[in-house]
Every structure is written in structure tokens, then in C-alpha cells.
Amino acid sequence: MLGQATVPLVGMVDTVVIGRTGDAAALAGVALGTTIVNFLFWTFGFLRMGMTGLTAQAQGADDGTEVRAMLARGLLLGLALGALLFALQWVLVPVSLGLFAGARELDAAASGYITARFLGAPASLAVFAINGWLLGLGRTRSALLLQIVMNVVNGVLDIWFVWGFGMGAEGVGLGTAIAEWVALGTGLTIAAGILGPTALEGLRTRLFDLAALKRLFAINADIMVRTVALLLLFAWFANAGARLGTEVLAANQVLMQFVSIAAFVLDGFAFTAESRVGNAIGRGRHEELKRAIRLTGEFSLGAGLVFALTTGLAGSWLIGLITTDPQVRELARAFLPYTALVPLIGVPAWLLDGIFIGATRGKALRNAAVVTTALYVATDLLLRPCGAHGMWIAFLIGYLYRAGTLGAALPGLIRGIAEKPAAP
């Protein structure tokens, strides 16, 4: 949970540094830019999610060589895909901006932020793989250290570039890109320390093992579709805010910091479920699987209630710290009750994600996400006459769709695990 709490601090720092300048257009530009970057980068989020489940299962089966090979495959794939994104940015950036309902001033700020972020694309995707590998091994302290290093570097550079040099949204993006490269160096150092002198042992024969690669790409293809579907959901939500005006989009960016912190911290339980579920499946233990689901579920619901209460009670004060623009503050406070409900309503969806990722059930994740996004878009269209309130209500209902579609597949997952005899 501590490690996960540091993940959204990158976006929080970006938002606060820009928000304290009082420039609503720059804040909205960072909001729009973040949505586009998240969509493009997290399209390859399987590098984190697929890596966790497969690594945990390899560890559960006591296959050290496959554990090492998984890291090498993830790093190579992440660097290659990140380099491809960087090379295609000249096409991707204008096309992405053209799909959103932003004004010219908003597009200019967003473009500067996105272009700077693309400098860190290879490092960002490689760090996805390292994080997934560490979580699969249950090395949560190492994952925490990695995130702390990235956040400290990002915070210092954001303040320096924006408040020191007046670089605006572009400075925020550049600070984050540099922090991602520092995080990659840190992650490689951590991985080398964990593996020790055996880091390269067996890689020559296992790195390009056909069966392992086939399984990796099959699972990752399903998770990629799942991720793109959910990213479309969040992009639709961001575009709904942009359609209602720069101030609404800026207010949504402020409120999404609360959502991100709750989601990432509560994902700590989901990541625990990923590792424990993966290990239980690797060992073929039904009771361990059920226990992991029950315990993480109980703690998740309790923590979700705490987050909901905290957001509702302290949210107005925190909004005042994040932005100085009066109109943005007023709008954010008006929509705060919806934001306070997200941690409670979203808990089942986040936890079920972790369970299915740990079980490497990519098809179930894919199908649930596609159905969820389609239902969410239909709901948002139906609620458009309600304006911004309808936008937030549809967003909350989207979490119920995610939980319902995955929950329906959970009994089949549990039944499908083959029980292995205990070792003598």
C-alpha cells in the first residue's frame, strides 16, 4: 500500500505545481495531455500486469530460470515498444489531440506536455516490466523504493522547470520523463541485487523459449485489449469534461488526483492478490487461493470505506491546496461527493482485476472490459442531459459494470484450478 501510494504522486505533483500557478488553461492542458499519454503508454500495461502473474506462477513452481527470463523478456519488449512510440509521436500526438474537444490554447499546452513525456517512453515501459516482476516476486519494499526515487526526482524537477524556469506544462512533462529514466536505472540496480551472480544463468536457452513466448503474447494480447478498452472509458470521461469547458476539465483533473490515490493505494490489496493467487495456482492449492481472495477482499472493503470518508471530510480543504483558480475550486467542490464514492464503489472492480491478473485469465479480463466500456458509453450518452452531474454518475456506474462482469466469471475461475498433490 505504501508503494502504491507513491505511484499517483507523480500525477499529483504535476497537478499541484501547475495548479498553484493559477493558470487554468495550463492545468487543463496537463489534464488532457495526461489522458493521452496514459492512453498511449498504458496500452502496453500488460508489461506490468502480465509480468506479475507469470512471474508469481514461475516462483510458485520453483522455476528460477523462468523468473529470470521473464524479467529479460519484459525489459527487451518494454524498451522496443517505447522506442516505437517515440518514433511515431509525430503522428500520434496531432491525431490524439484532434480526437478531443479542446480549444487552441488548451491543445498548445497539452502538446508541449505530451512531446516532453515521449522522451521518457522507453524508460516508462521498461519500468512497467520491472514493477510487474518485483510485485510477482512479492518484493513490495523494492517496488516502494523504485517509486520513491522516481517521485523525488519528478517533484524536484517539476518545481525547478515550472516555478524556476517558467516552462509551464512542457516543464512538467520534461521533469516526469527524466524521472522515468532515473527510475529505470534504479530498477535495474534493484533487480541485479536480487538476482546476484545468477542473473544471466540459463537465459541463453530460456529467453526465447517458444512455448513461454507463445503464452506470454497470448496473455498479453488479451490484457492489451482489456487495457485499451478501459483507457477508452477514461478518455471518454476526459473528453466529456473538455466538451463542457476548460474549467470543468481542470476541475476534473483536480478531482482525479483523489481517485488516482485511492485506486493506487487500494490496488496494493489487488497486487497482493495477484502475487498470492499466482503462487496458489502455481502450487495448485485451492484453499490458499480462496484464502487470498477472502482476506484481500475484507481488507479492501474496509480501506475503501476509510478513503471514502476521508475524501468527503478533507476533500474541500485539499482542493484549495491543489489549485488557486476560484472557478476551478468551486466546480471541484461541487463534484466532490461523487469523487468520495469512488473508493467504495471501485473496490470490487480493482480487487477482481488483481485476482484475474494473478490467475493470468486474460480472456475474462478482456471480455469484461469491452462489455464495461460499451455499457459505460451508452450510460453516459443517456445521462448527457444532466450535464456534469450526469458525466460523474455515469463514471461511478462504470465501476459497477466492471465489478459485475468480472464477478460473474469468478466461480468459473475457482473451479478451473487444478489441485496438485502436496509434496511429500
Give the closest residue to 300 by CA, choosing from 343, 262, 266, 263: 266
Cβ pair 315, 232 in contact under 8 A: no
Burial 63-97 (b: 16+ CB within 10 A, else e): bebbbbbbbbbbbebbbebbeebeeebeebbeebb
Question: CA-CA distance, 405 to 352, in Å (whole number)?
Answer: 10
Place of cell 527510475: 183
Place of cell 478498452: 229
Residue 418's pLDDT is 57
Give the closest residue to 397 by CA, choosing from 422, 385, 380: 380
The CA-based dihedral angle spanning residues 184, 186, 190, 196, taken in that order and rounded to the nearest 10 degrees: 90
Residue 424's pLDDT is 46
Cβ pair 151, 208 in contact under 8 A: no
Radius of gyration of the chain from Cα atoms?
21
Segment-wise mean pLDDT, segments of 10 residues, the chain, 424 residues: 62 72 72 81 80 79 80 90 92 80 67 91 94 86 88 88 84 92 95 80 68 72 84 86 82 86 80 75 73 83 91 91 86 94 92 83 89 96 93 96 92 70 50
Question: CA-CA distance, 217 to 82, in Å (whole number)?
Answer: 17
Handedness of CA 54, 55, 56, 61 (dihedral sign): positive
Question: CA-CA distance, 212 to 193, in Å (whole number)?
Answer: 25
Question: CA-CA distance, 266 to 281, in Å (whole number)?
Answer: 23
Question: CA-CA distance, 171 to 176, in Å (whole number)?
Answer: 9
